[in-house]
Structure 1
Amino acid sequence: MTTIAVIIDSPVTPLTSLLPLVFVISVTAMKQGYEDYLRHRADNMVNYSLVTVIRNGVEMDIKCHNIVPGDLVKVVRDCDVPCDLVLLKSSDPHNKCFITTANLDGESNLKTLTVPRGLPSLDVDRLHTLGIIECEYPVTDLYSFNGRIELSETIGNRMSAVPDLDVVNNNFLPLMAENLLLRGSRVKNTEWVVGCAVYTGQMTKLALNSKVTKYKMSSSEIFINKFLIFFLILLISIVTISYFLKRFHDMYRQEHNIYLGEPVSNYQVSQFLQDYFSFLIIFNYLIPISLYVTIEIHKFLGSFYMEWDHELYDAPTNQPCIVNTSDLNEELGQVEILFSDKTGTLTKNEMIFQQCSINGRKFTQKRTGLLEEGKHLLLKLPEFKDDVFNFFQALSVCHTVQVAGSEDADAEALHDNSLVQSDETDNINTTAFTFGDNFTDISEEREESPILEMNGVNGESVNGHVNSDMNPLLNRQNTDKDQHFLGLNKSLHHTHLQILPTRPSSEHLPKMAALILEGKPRPYSAVGMDNASFNHMHEFTFSPQPLSRPNSHVDLKRTISTDADVHQKTHRRTQSYNVPPNKASASANVARTPSRVSRQSSIRSIVSQMNSRESYAAPQHTEAAKIERNESMYRRGVIQSVIEELDYQASSPDEKALVEACAKVGFVYTGDDDDVVTVKIKKSVFRGGKARNVDTLDSVKKIFKADNSTIMKFTRLHVLEFTSDRKRMSVIVRDQKGQIWLYTKGAESHVLPLCDKTPRQLITETQNHINDFAKLGLRTLTVARRKITNSEYIEFSNEITQANNSLTDRKALVESCQQKIERNLELLGATAVEDALQDNVRDTLEALRYAGIKVWVLTGDKVETALNIALSCGHIPDDALKHFIVECQSAENLEEQLNVFENELNLHKDENFALLIDGGSLAFALSKFPERFRDLSVRCRAVLCCRLSPLQKCEVVHLMKTVAGHPITASIGDGANDVSMIQEAHVGLGIVGKEGRQAARCADYAFANFAMVKRMLLVHGHYFSQRLSLLVLYFFYKNLVFMTIQLYFQINSMFSSQTVYDALFLTLYNVVYTALPILVISLTEKVYPMDKLMSEPPLYKKNIRNKRLQWNYFCGWMLLAVYHSSVIYVSGFLMWNNNPAILTTPQTVNFYCYGTFMIHNVVILVNLKLWLSSSYQSYWFIFSIWLSIVGFVLTTFIYNLFNLDLLNGDMLSVYSNLLSSLTFWLLCLVVVIAALIPDFTIKALQALNVNCSSIFPGQKKVPTTKSRCTFFEMTRL
């Protein structure tokens, strides 16, 4: 328009179009540029991260994005792999590397990779001479890799001389998936690995499984574009009609209109363009050009509401909400399908052992003991019967758990030189002093276990209160069978001291012992410890961290006081790189660096002990009871410390939970060495007499007698891995007596039928207990065992070896061997483990369901695991009919399953259905029957997809976007494997998880936990959707009011192509006079309060599918615009036509007075209309309205004081004359009242609770809740 206005003889100055355009473009560019800068800075955090490469035998640090194929990359423990690497060397003595792939497939289980078999062991500085790696072109499959290493001629000749090595063609070694470290995986339980980069950048498997980011357009933009098209058509129609009517008047005007000049006889093209474009320039203000800039500002400022929301802030992690793009704020209020990851999103991926069933009895684990159902006695390890002992012994052996650094985590080898003195007299119990346990738990344990577990020094009961009948330990005979219960009178085993590197000096021990025996708290001042001694006492190795290469040289010089400081000051990839300054000099020679327990935590520990002092000062607590509490505290502290020190790494969270549960009751698995499994039986039975004299070390040693650790060692002979078909895993071991045992654990449906040697009644009772556990949402496993003879094992070993060497039917032959050995089992019991869900997950899913949002869970986890989580978190309702489509081997098989499913849906139309499908079956559905699968699955209340690759997740989201009606989708996840579906969905939500920030960086919005999605959608989504609809409709409304008056004036002026408004008004109307109030209300409007939106999720449906941007709302506002403009123009026209002398001055009003009267009423009316349309009228909003009106008055008044030719106007003294006229003010009052009659009428009807039509939207007040009963409470009534 600006260009046209310059070329032709424009009715207005070109500045009226140029200035608003420049303003709009500038604001939009600044907003988009700022958000691009934030994304660029986030990308640089990864691209510029330092990694260690080895080039020509020299280690150097380079930026991550500078890695090229062929580089030797060194990755240290707990760091992410920067690209796809072929593993060449590992710090593990067995050439293994342990990783987690949670960022790839969602599983945080420990996985094992190995150096290629037959690869020669070379020093790191000589690995570059190894040879050449040839590999296949990168593919999306995460679990396949084919390649080979062509050894150099020198190394190949040397290898060919060794006949035992499997070297193909003397110079080639095969490469498989177990040799490939994928980008995004994390090194665990291995100090460092070195690999050769084969795929980098966009060629990595992770990148291939990630979709290219595309621009996401909000669904509201579709409606806005439709409205713009409507206005554009309206504009062209008005311009065209005006042009022809002008031609009509020019040709057939009456002869007495001589003041218009002579008619043009030879009408040329130039005159046609002049007239047509003149009308186009006049009416182009019908298009709200400032709409987009206002929307941009509205979204940008609105994003801070989410970032500043305290309910979206996670205090433990100091993580606020992150808004990566503000373009989709209103889309949060339109979501109909939510796709969610499982691991790390719905769950914390933390398993907790809760209950168990042993020999028909149900137990609950309470700290370090077991509480049998119906009883109040807390059983400790010395009181375990044979069946309970055998059960936990089986759990401590039947697993594949690895111990991080087991060779140095073993109790006999932990910091020997620095922690244990050579003097045997120093081996006394100091654990109770240094662990800082408070006595509250001891009191609880005392209440649950009133029977004392202690004997006197010579075996007699303490104070005569404990006899042999009360203590099962005294009734046991010292036989081989019960040997594990005996041998408890030796001195303290040095294991306990080795876990505690620092202890108080020997001179303080008697005083501290006396305080403890007296039941008093242990303030350090009481034992004569100064601040230095206090600090020294608490600077012990608590959870060693591996030493890694720092991210920058500055990190080594940085003073770090607590782990929290490290977390806040460093990037995720460098959190493990920082070491205390006093350790930096020795960093090159040690593998671990001790972290520091802050003085603050020690003080808190002391305060907690002092606060609990009163509960132990009761007179009925005897001296023996005090000794028992101290001993029990000591035992729990030792066991908990051993668990923390061992750092279990399991192939599944269930196994880790079971092993940790065994350790808590005293069966401490300390690792395996060359398949020799070591389990320590920690039976801490305190022996002590009367604590009368504790002034010397000798007296202390008589009181504190350490418990003995019985060490059990098993040789692991064979592991029968878990498969989805067998649903169980088994371990064959040989105990110290040479007896071979088969231990099995798995699903009850696949273990109980094999327990032929177990009475049927016991199986029934165990099954009932398992059903009870399942009702509580616990994950269950059944445990059994079998004694195997040597001949049976030899036969099995030969058969399984032959089966593994078979090239055909290997899987069937192996399963046959496994089934042959897994029979005639003896049932030991069942376990119940809770998979810790994210906080408030069930409530969140329930709220989303009531809000009309369907939730799909897409996970790479196993079917059984995913199903258990879906049931426990409430994703699959209890009353839903479940249909499984799993293990389909062909498209025909899948089609049969779909036919059955469709029949069930048609047969039970009123029932709720839940669909579960695995990745293999889904692959056939997506390739062969996508539309049918889509149409059937959308009829389900809940859908669970398991074993999906990242690309399959993306394809599922893409498929569901094509459902009839095109529902708005959202995806939420926490790992790199979720990036594809996050980017594919209309709205991407990321969880800032423990496994990294890949999802958070790629998502549109990110926050700390899943429960926050409820507030994001139901509150912020609802508000943004409702606010944007008001903003859009109001902009079209006010522009139509503005230009309809222009149209009326053209009719009265015989389409003279002259504007009724001065150029100043055309320039400032959209960007100044009416911009601020709508911007403020679009940021503050609240139809419903927040607590009401949270408690009544169905309110979310009021805005879904952009209901407030539908054509009925749009037409209602446009009718109001026509009415308001008609009132303004007709009232002014009638007044000016009947009484032109309305001013106090002698002269009649001129043309500019007429136009100024119109714009004056327009500005006041459209602002008051917005005020009446709002529901939440804040002070800022009221102030913005008056500021806009007063701003118009002031600018117009100042403008009319000068005669400016720049804007082609003649406004000198025009507005001053109008303001001095009483007729002008009365007429303005009449116009405003007459125009707002419909609005006041609707307000009155609403006050009378009359259900009026929604043809004039946005008129509802903030509803008042007369009852405190929430929606969920009402549904339960």
Structure 2
Amino acid sequence: MVMTFFILTKELKARTVWLGHPEKCEEKYPKNAIKNQKYNFFTFVPGVLYQQFKFFLNLYFLVVACSQFVPSLKIGYLYTYWAPLGFVMAVTMVREAVDEVRRYQRDKEMNSQLYSKLTFSPHLFLFLSHYNVLLQNQRIPADMIFLRTSEKTGSCFIRTDQLDGETDWKLKVAVICTQRLPALGDLFSINAYVYAQKPQLDIHSFEGNFTREDGDPQIHESLSIDHTLWASTIVASGTVIGVVIYTGKETRSVLNTSSPKNKVGLLDLELNRLTKALFLAQVVLSIVMVALQGFVGPWFRNLFRFIVLFSYIIPISLRVNLDMGKSAYGWMIMKDENIPGTVVRTSTIPEELGRLVYLLTDKTGTLTQNEMIFKRLHLGTVSYGTDTMDEIQSHIGQSYAQPQPAQAPKAAAPKVRRSVSSRIHEAVKAIALCHNVTPVYESRANGETESTAAEADQDFSDDNRTYQASSPDEVALVRWTESVGLTLVNRDLTSLQLKTPAGQVLTYYILQIFPFTSESKRMGIIIREETTGDITFYMKGADVAMASIVQYNDWLEEECGNMAREGLRTLVVAKKSLSEEQYTDFENRYNQAKLSIHDRALKVSAVVESLEREMELLCLTGVEDQLQADVRPTLELLRNAGIKIWMLTGDKLETATCIAKSSHLVSRSQDIHVFRSVSNRGEAHLELNAFRRKHDCALVISGDSLEVCLRYYEHEFVELACQCPAVVCCRCSPTQKAQIVHLLKQHTANRTCAIGDGGNDVSMIQAADCGIGIEGKEGKQASLAADFSITQFKHIGRLLMVHGRNSYKRSAALGQFVMHRGMIISTMQAVFSSIFYFASVPLYQGFLMVGYSTIYTMFPVFSLVLDQDVKPEMALLYPELYKDLTKGRSLSFKTFLIWVLISIYQGGILMYGALVLFESEFVHVVAISFTALILTELLMVALNIRTWHWLMVLAEFFSLGCYIASLAFLNEYFDLGFITTPAFLWKVSVITVVSCLPLYIIKYLKRKFSPPSYSKLSS
């Protein structure tokens, strides 16, 4: 359960939280409800309208529609303008309402979870069911300090995958003072408080103190990240009681929740520019019309009437068609059985997948499996691989062999062999002790997990034991020590037990533990052996951090490089023996530093560093992170598609280089230029000059050198790096990953994509034009923050080559055809007004205009989202087809100009043809031209389709049937007696053939003499 108390809080300031004394509290904490909704009941409509009318297209049509309320500007019926605008707004509002309802339901589900608030009455404790009850597998509702647990060890596990993206369980420790209280009710009788620092963004650190004032002497206990239970994490074992310190907007999860920017696709920007060009053409055309009138009379009013009259040149249905198309593409992606589990989280940019030039990828968990396997143990003079593990097991067995008194003494082993055996024993023992791993046993009876075998009333059997740790590297090391005979069987806050090959259980008391941090790059532990009382300080970490700590040696640097070239992740293990006096002195200084309120981290670090001197180097370990399935062919596919791949990783240079080679990120025929480590401007200048002389080679650079180059030579470096077929950035921080994305977007006009699987990849994913998350070993944080989520790296090939390519080409065709549909009718209006003395009179009125852009042509035009030039298998077989898309030729000013010329030609033929074949009444001209217009649009859709789908055929015949059926009800616009005559039929047929046949001939000749690349493959 969770125990909550009133707290004294001031926003974003340090606070004091009293236990059991609400009368000392002056203020209430912020409301703890989760709210992800954008609007409420009153702000929904105005909020949505404001967001929509920020766009030029919608605002333009709103002005045009509003102008129809002015009698002198009114042209036709009001619904001619308000119906399309209302339809667009209705579709938008329905979509927003659906999303808002989903957000509301998710928020309601989270906010309706039942908890209990533990309060005190003179006679009993009250459990209020509508407050905070927290049991195993429940979400923690607020940031809390861990006071008490049902676990006898005084600790519990929590899952943090929804907070930091890591799936490994985290061990949390209860406050010692409150955990040792005899009864739960004593929490209300003591006079104690928690001092907590002001709310911070950092989820991996916390500084606070616990003070009990009613004791003699007063009890002061330092609080760290190990005593915290952050909101949105899950209790994985036992039940917990905590005191709330931060709620609502002050919690770590909310502070770290940033609303990602609304990404706008390049296609949308290009269409927006074309829309503005159409508006300019509309204004120019209107001015020409007024000028040909001679600027007589109220010419300014006539100018505005012409602008309204030609308003269909800018299609209001463009945005709706594109949005519906994007939703269809997203549905197709998620329904593709070849990439199961793919989720489209952002439906506004699927076409961006078809125009990528740069792919920035994480390494661990993305290109590799993040499943560590122990591969190498190096002792300086001798190295052990997987094929010599039996020898290590033999040495460990001899070290812990039970004495056999009756057995005759063996001959003394050679001195060298005893030395090696002793060193192996010390190395394996250090690896088995220096970690933060906890064995977890699965109960056979009810499936519940227990952190110790004793609590589950089980023996230390291997068949139901698993290991939990914050790092897969540590689990791999502990599993390896188990395989060679030294098994971690139990661990709690104060001790851990190892089982020897002989079955003996050895106990070691944990005196201090120093967790791994990204700054220190190492972790340590001080233990006391139960039998001898010896105190030993063990430490392991990255070679860059440990090289200056261990005693002088002549092999560490060389062997670290050798292992890294094999693709292994290395850790240096060392130890230092401490006397009782040395440890007592350290403990006093360490506890004093932990109670500091100001600069606690620096003071604690300084005390720990006083021990980290002249440590004895024990061994060097190497673990392997295996490649993901089909990484090599996928990277080769992307490279052949013209995509430049940059690998951004925190691993060392040698490991990153090895993975780049083994994964074929760098092709076998390419050279690799390793950028020398630089620390100042002069060195960076020399190294850039050396790099400039290289041609067609991959670049490998460290984060430190990258920072120096960007500080002094940003433009030059990015220019050179962008010419490389592949770039590897090692020792790269999450901030640097995002910075690299921004640099590419700033210095190039190409689209970028970032892919990763961990919380440290989120900033990079959100900064890229297109972000892809992998739901992997490190949790869902990257997946949830991304625009697209996949389950394996290999799926990115089909996602880009097939769905990305189709989405871009389909959206380009759809957008241009919708604009053609507006330009052709505007051309007809211009021809009509020119012939009839430049009168601002509409050619088609009322339902004809509404029906033209909806039921008569909408379905065939929208069916273009099903079109494809080549089959998916062909697109994957020939990735070179993807390279053409990056040039943007499917939608450009050239293609737009071609569609303008087509619209002018067809609009002129339709209007002039109807006037040349003029009948006795004007209504006949309307009937002939409008019918020919509908048939022309249907034929033009058929002309542009490359692969027919049965839904396309259905859309064509359905639209034609709707038009024919509606003729019976359009007495106001058509003479039913005339449209049933042969004259009507042959005139409509002639005009339609003249408007379409030349385009068919031109298309045939073009495909004959200059066929597109895809037509060669499909044939």
TM-score bracket, normalised by the shorter chain, equals: 0.7 to 0.9
Say whether 1:1176 aligns with 2:947.
Answer: yes
Structure 2 Cα separation of the partners of residues 195 and 897 of structure 1: 54
The corresponding residue for 2:483 is 664
Tell me how far 1:1025 sits from its aligned partner. Answer: 0.9
Cα pair distance change 1:1060/1:649, threshold 3 Å: closer
The corresponding residue for 1:1116 is 898
Structure 2 Cα separation of the partners of residues 1120 and 783 of structure 1: 74
Question: Partner of 1:1020: helix, strand, or coil?
Answer: helix
Name the structure, 1 or 2, with higher relative contact order (CA <8 Å, separation 6+). 1
Cα pair distance change 1:1004/1:1169, threshold 3 Å: same
Tell me how far 1:397 sits from its aligned partner. Answer: 4.4
Say whether 1:911 aligns with 2:697.
Answer: yes
1:309 to 336, 355, 358: 336
Say whether 1:8 aligns with 2:65.
Answer: no
Structure 1 Cα separation of the partners of residues 242 and 511 of structure 2: 31
Tell me how far 1:388 sits from its aligned partner. Answer: 7.3
Question: Partner of 2:703: helix, strand, or coil?
Answer: strand
Structure 1 Cα separation of the partners of residues 147 and 87 of structure 2: 59
The corresponding residue for 1:645 is 464
Q: Which runs of 5+ in 1 are unaligned?
A: 67-72, 168-172, 252-266, 314-319, 410-498, 502-539, 548-589, 595-637, 683-707, 887-892, 1141-1147, 1250-1258, 1267-1277
Say whether 1:322 aligns with 2:343.
Answer: yes
Report the AA paired with residue 448 of structure 2. P
The corresponding residue for 1:400 is 434
Question: Partner of 2:370: helix, strand, or coil?
Answer: strand
Question: Partner of 1:1073: helix, strand, or coil?
Answer: coil
Q: Is the 8 A contact 2:761 2:782 kept in 1?
A: yes
Structure 2 Cα separation of the partners of residues 899 and 802 of structure 1: 50
Structure 2 Cα separation of the partners of residues 203 and 755 of structure 1: 42
Tell me how far 1:1031 sits from its aligned partner. Answer: 0.5
Structure 1 Cα separation of the partners of residues 964 and 525 of structure 2: 87
Cα pair distance change 1:205/1:1228, threshold 3 Å: closer
Which has the larger displacement, 842-851 or 230-239?
A: 842-851
Structure 1 Cα separation of the partners of residues 655 and 494 of structure 2: 28
Tell me how far 1:1080 sits from its aligned partner. Answer: 1.1
Which structure 2 residues correspond to residues 273-284 of structure 1 after superposition, within 5 A?
A: 273=301, 275-284=302-311
Q: CA RMSD in A?
A: 4.9
Which structure 2 residues correspond to residues 89-128 of structure 1 after superposition, within 5 A?
A: 89-91=148-150, 95-96=154-155, 104=163, 114-115=173-174, 121-122=180-181, 123-127=183-187
Say whether 1:33 aligns with 2:33.
Answer: no
Tell me how far 1:1020 sits from its aligned partner. Answer: 1.4
The corresponding residue for 1:463 is none
Tell me how far 1:1030 sits from its aligned partner. Answer: 0.5
Cα pair distance change 1:396/1:378, threshold 3 Å: closer
Tell me how far 1:1215 sits from its aligned partner. Answer: 1.9
Say whether 1:544 aligns with 2:448.
Answer: yes
Tell me how far 1:8 sits from its aligned partner. Answer: 3.0
Say whether 1:822 aligns with 2:822.
Answer: no
Structure 1 Cα separation of the partners of residues 653 and 242 of structure 2: 33
Which structure 2 residues correspond to residues 999-1078 of structure 1 after superposition, within 5 A?
A: 999-1061=782-844, 1063-1078=846-861
Tell me how far 1:737 sits from its aligned partner. Answer: 7.3
Say whether 1:1214 aligns with 2:978.
Answer: yes
Rg comparison, structure with higher value: 1
Structure 2 Cα separation of the partners of residues 1173 and 284 of structure 1: 26
Say whether 1:139 aligns with 2:173.
Answer: no
Q: Which runs of 5+ in 2 are unaligned?
A: 1-63, 402-416, 594-601
Structure 2 Cα separation of the partners of residues 40 and 61 of structure 1: 25
Question: Partner of 2:831: helix, strand, or coil?
Answer: helix
Tell me how far 1:1244 sits from its aligned partner. Answer: 2.6
Tell me how far 1:1028 sits from its aligned partner. Answer: 0.3
Tell me how far 1:37 sits from its aligned partner. Answer: 3.2
1:85 to 144, 150, 162: 144
Say whether 1:351 aligns with 2:414.
Answer: no
Q: Is the 8 A contact 1:332 1:1022 kept in 2?
A: yes
Residues 5-43 of structure 1: CA deviation (Å, up to 9, x unaligned): 454365533333233333333233323333343444444
Report the AA paired with residue 324 of structure 1. R
Structure 1 Cα separation of the partners of residues 233 and 666 of structure 2: 31
Say whether 1:1245 aligns with 2:1006.
Answer: no
The corresponding residue for 1:182 is 230
The corresponding residue for 2:568 is 778
Cα pair distance change 1:818/1:927, threshold 3 Å: same
Structure 2 Cα separation of the partners of residues 174 and 805 of structure 1: 8
Question: Partner of 1:245: helix, strand, or coil?
Answer: helix
Say whether 1:833 aligns with 2:629.
Answer: no
2:83 to 11, 16, 19: 19
Residues 742-773 of structure 1: CA deviation (Å, up to 9, x unaligned): 87766679989999999x9xx79x978x8775
Question: Partner of 2:213: helix, strand, or coil?
Answer: helix
The corresponding residue for 1:963 is 746
Say whether 1:881 aligns with 2:673.
Answer: yes
Which structure 2 residues correspond to residues 277-292 of structure 1 after superposition, within 5 A?
A: 277-292=304-319
Q: Is the 8 A contact 1:363 1:370 kept in 2?
A: no
Question: Partner of 2:310: helix, strand, or coil?
Answer: helix
Question: Partner of 1:212: helix, strand, or coil?
Answer: coil
Report the AA paired with residue 292 of structure 1. R
Say whether 1:242 aligns with 2:242.
Answer: no
Tell me how far 1:146 sits from its aligned partner. Answer: 4.0
Q: Is the 8 A contact 1:107 1:343 kept in 2?
A: no
Residues 411-448 of structure 1: CA deviation (Å, up to 9, x unaligned): xxxxxxxxxxxxxxxxxxxxxxxxxxxxxxxxxxxxxx
Structure 2 Cα separation of the partners of residues 1119 and 114 of structure 1: 74
Cα pair distance change 1:755/1:343, threshold 3 Å: closer
Structure 2 Cα separation of the partners of residues 936 and 1232 of structure 1: 50
Question: Partner of 1:86: helix, strand, or coil?
Answer: strand
Tell me how far 1:1177 sits from its aligned partner. Answer: 2.0
Residues 322-379 of structure 1: CA deviation (Å, up to 9, x unaligned): 333322221222334445556654554322234556875754369xx7499xxxx999
Structure 1 Cα separation of the partners of residues 230 and 426 of structure 2: 37
Tell me how far 1:935 sits from its aligned partner. Answer: 6.6
Structure 2 Cα separation of the partners of residues 1073 and 934 of structure 1: 52
The corresponding residue for 1:333 is 354
Q: How many residues align?
A: 917
Identity %, equivalent residues: 24
Report the AA paired with residue 434 of structure 2. T
Which structure 2 residues correspond to residues 924-943 of structure 1 after superposition, within 5 A?
A: 941-943=726-728
Report the AA paired with residue 896 of structure 2. F
Tell me how far 1:976 sits from its aligned partner. Answer: 5.6
Structure 1 Cα separation of the partners of residues 673 and 161 of structure 2: 31
Structure 2 Cα separation of the partners of residues 200 and 977 of structure 1: 25
Residues 1116-1163 of structure 1: CA deviation (Å, up to 9, x unaligned): 222222233334444454x43xxx5xxxxxxx5432222332233333
Say whether 1:1125 aligns with 2:911.
Answer: no
Report the AA paired with residue 1007 of structure 2. K
Residues 581-614 of structure 1: CA deviation (Å, up to 9, x unaligned): xxxxxxxxx98799xxxxxxxxxxxxxxxxxxxx
Question: Partner of 1:310: helix, strand, or coil?
Answer: coil
Cα pair distance change 1:838/1:78, threshold 3 Å: farther
Structure 2 Cα separation of the partners of residues 332 and 664 of structure 1: 46
Structure 2 Cα separation of the partners of residues 90 and 818 of structure 1: 34
Tell me how far 1:308 sits from its aligned partner. Answer: 0.9
Tell me how far 1:1056 sits from its aligned partner. Answer: 2.5
Q: Is the 8 A contact 1:882 1:914 kept in 2?
A: yes
Question: Partner of 2:981: helix, strand, or coil?
Answer: helix
Q: Is the 8 A contact 1:883 1:914 kept in 2?
A: yes
